[in-house]
Amino acid sequence: MGCPAWFLAEKGTYSTERFFGTLAQAAFEIDAMFLYQGGRSYDEHFQLDFATVNIMYRYGVEYDNVVVEVDSEQRANRHVFLAEGIKGLKPGVEYCRFGRIEDVTGSEDLVFHLAWRYLERNPEHRFWVEGFPIAYGPKGMAALKIHHGAGLLYPTWMQDDPSELVEAIKELGIHPDDFDPSRIW
């Protein structure tokens, strides 16, 4: 059983085309391959449900690649939950899950940089690894990068709480109140 991760957005704000395009751009910027091979799945009404893309640093390496599901708007809006108990999300707000990564295990470096680049272009979205109580935004990812420097502590970065990285927050010029649980970061 793998360790899945999701991108998150407030319900009703997700766009399939925007996600697909920004994900491809993020892969390009981190010098990763973005392979779409026509892997589409349709619902019972013959409407697009999701498509899959492979993103990797090196072709043929077992770890160092991820499969991302590019959800239709309809599918994303079926994967809705209330933001309770997850830091970095607005309490009481409904979020949709999209862009599922089946397993981040072994690809933590790739996932970190891909998610960070994506979030820089979509700062209202979040990235969440299932089983962890933190959803990351671009400020949180930047704080993690500064805190760990060139030696980002893979595979444990998704366990770190950016609101506790005081020195990194100061270096970024982020006010500590930006990480208040009632705010989205």
Q: Where are the alpha helices (DSSP H) in 35-173?
A: 73-78, 108-121, 138-148, 166-172
Rounded distance between C-alpha atoms, residue 167 and residue 164, angstroms: 9
The reported pLDDT for the residue numbered 180 is 58
pLDDT tens, position by position, 6-19? 999 999 999 999 99
The ranges assigned to domains in the chain are 5-137
Residue-level pLDDT at 26: 97
Give dist(CA 69, CA 100) in Å, integer. Answer: 5
- CA 79 → CA 24, 27, 94, 164, distances in Å? 23, 25, 10, 30
- pLDDT, position 75: 92
Token pair recorded at residue 12: 């009703």
The token duo for 6 is: 């999701």
Assign 90 a pLDDT band (cuts: 50, 70, 90): confident
Q: Mean pLDDT for the chain?
A: 84
Q: What is the pTM of this model?
A: 0.85
The contacts of residue 51 (CB under 8 Å, 6+ apart) are: 20, 36, 39, 40, 41, 69, 70
Mean pLDDT of 46-63: 84
